[in-house]
Chain A
Amino acid sequence: MRIAKSFLYVLGLPALLVLIWWLSTLGATSFFVPTPGTLASTFAKTWFGDRIFTDVLPSILRLLAGVSAAIILGILAGLLIGSIPWLRALTEPVLEFFRAVPPPVLVPVLMLLMGISDSMKVVVIISGCIWPVLLNTIEGVRAIDGVLSDSAHTYGIGGWARVRYLVLPSAGPQILAGVRQCLSIGLILMVISEMFASSSGLGFTIVQFQRSFAVPEMWSGIVILGLIGVAMSFIFQFTERRILRWYYGLREVENAV
């Protein structure tokens, strides 16, 4: 009974919305809105075929390469800048400026500097995604508890052990908040870099459908981008829970008091 109830909660609204959508497109033949049936069959026809290998997978690989490089670089640079006060003061205004630049404007710049290639798209993703990770890591490293830091010092914990057991765990929640932002910016930049300058990839294909007025195909492209976004957010939430298990446990204890 309980399972059935939670099942109803999860599927109730989506089912209701699809039903409304189906009913409202039943008689009408609107050019812009396909019926659920058309969309589903177009989706299968459009994406389950060669497209997976020519467009979807390359896009996802570029996204993964860019995002993981941005996360690694951001955390490394953040650890360095965050632990040296004068370096932090020196770089802070410049970094604030770079964070404030809307990342999509980097696409035309990097097109000029690097030409149109796969590596340019990866660099676009890196240069847009790195800022939230970098700035959050700096902030996380700066806000390490003074007592913990002093205790580690007194016990003679330094170098790599200090980073591994003190700095990374206490900056962890902040860093992961940055990673979450980084993922959604990465997806946006992947699509935009392909819309601008490409002959393959998801962004290119979707714009191509729109320009040739293949409306159901265009909708199916929107759906697949949505699915990628949802999948990424699920994977992220799962990893975050694993990495920060101690943190959530601690918060529960604190809240219970």
Chain B
Amino acid sequence: MTKRTLGLAGILGFLLTWELIPRLGLVEARFLPPASEVLAALAVDFQLTAFWAAVGETLLAWVLGLAAAVLLAVAAGFVVGSSHFLRRFTNSTVEFLRPIPSVALIPLAVLLFGVKIESSLMLIIYASFWQIFIQVLYGVADVDNVAMQTARSFGLRTVARVRYVVFPTALPYLMTGVRLAASVALILAITAELVIGSPGLGREIALAQSGGAISGMYALIVATGLIGVLINLLMRFIERKTLSWHSSIRSEVIV
């Protein structure tokens, strides 16, 4: 059997188990509805404008937050990374701020922005910024000395050196950071909606749960999982496209 059919069999097996657990009464159906019921609810959701609006809100927060984090982190990373002094000077502060869980900022976001998209954005940007910033720092530090000196003796100015030497070296690191940050940003977008109540899929989940629409809630959770899978695929695709010249990608194509 090929890998694909096995994978398909795995999915079917999982759905079958899920279907059987409530049907056989292992868990009460009002707590865990059978898979068929949840998938039917999901199919109904797909036809509702409200569902797509919620998806849109979540994705909007995701895109804006991620884009802002990328811009900030790249700018800060290039400036800090290219100076030995700044790197040492900021090291202790970065190591202290980075592990602070972004959910700790939830109360602050609520106080500052209330239940608006800004509070999601604040959490998303904070969490994704560090992922990318650290990778950019590594990337900028990884620049080959010989390449840098060659560029210098050819008379490349600072801007040109950043563009043609530093940027290509840092790009693979940057893409890794962006890929990690993309899934973190989705987690934080949903979390903010779930806990704070800013508009989006997370709030719909909380509403469905408190309203007792249990199969609706499971359907929305499956939808968040599908969005997560799509984002992962998209990020891998972008990474492959932007780094098509890099050996780590090229070797995969040839072999």
Residues of A that sit less than 8 Å from B by CB = 9-14, 17, 32, 86, 89-94, 96-105, 107-109, 111-113, 184, 187-188, 191-192, 195-196, 203, 206-207, 209-210, 215, 218-219, 221-222, 225-226, 229-230, 232-233
A90 contact set on B, CB distance < 8 A: 6-7, 9-10, 13
Complex contact B108–A229 (CB within 8 A): no
Complex contact A225–B190 (CB within 8 A): no
Complex-state Cα separation, A165 to B102, whole angstroms: 38
**Number of B interface residues in the complex (CB < 8 A):** 60
Asked if B169 lies at the interface with its beta carbon under 8 angstroms from chain A, I say no
Main secondary structure of the interface of B (DSSP, over half): helix
Can you name 5 A-B pairs with beta carbons within 8 Å? A9-B88, A17-B93, A90-B6, A102-B187, A230-B95
Asked if B191 lies at the interface with its beta carbon under 8 angstroms from chain A, I say yes
A231 to chain B: closest CB distance in Å?
9
- Contact partner of A105 (CB less than 8 A), chosen from B9, B10, B112, B202, is B202
Residues of B that sit less than 8 Å from A by CB = 1, 3, 6-11, 13-14, 27, 31-32, 88-93, 95-108, 110-112, 183, 186-187, 190-191, 194-195, 202, 205-206, 209, 214, 217-218, 220-221, 224-229, 231-232
Complex contact A92–B10 (CB within 8 A): yes
Complex contact A13–B224 (CB within 8 A): no
Besides A89-B10, A206-B107, A210-B110, 10 other A-B contacts (C-beta < 8 A):
A86-B6, A94-B10, A100-B227, A100-B228, A104-B190, A105-B190, A188-B191, A195-B103, A230-B100, A233-B98
A12 contact set on B, CB distance < 8 A: 89
B1 contact set on A, CB distance < 8 A: 86
Complex contact B111–A210 (CB within 8 A): yes
- Contact partner of B31 (CB less than 8 A), chosen from A10, A99, A113, A232, is A113
Known A-B contacts A90-B9, A105-B221, A188-B101; A14 and B206 likewise in contact (beta carbons under 8 Å) = no
Complex contact A108–B195 (CB within 8 A): no
Complex contact B205–A225 (CB within 8 A): no
A105 contact set on B, CB distance < 8 A: 190, 194, 202, 205, 220-221, 224
Complex contact B31–A229 (CB within 8 A): no
B51 to chain A: closest CB distance in Å?
15
Who on chain B is nearest to A17 by CB?
A: B93
B92 contact set on A, CB distance < 8 A: 9-11, 13-14
A195 contact set on B, CB distance < 8 A: 103, 106, 195
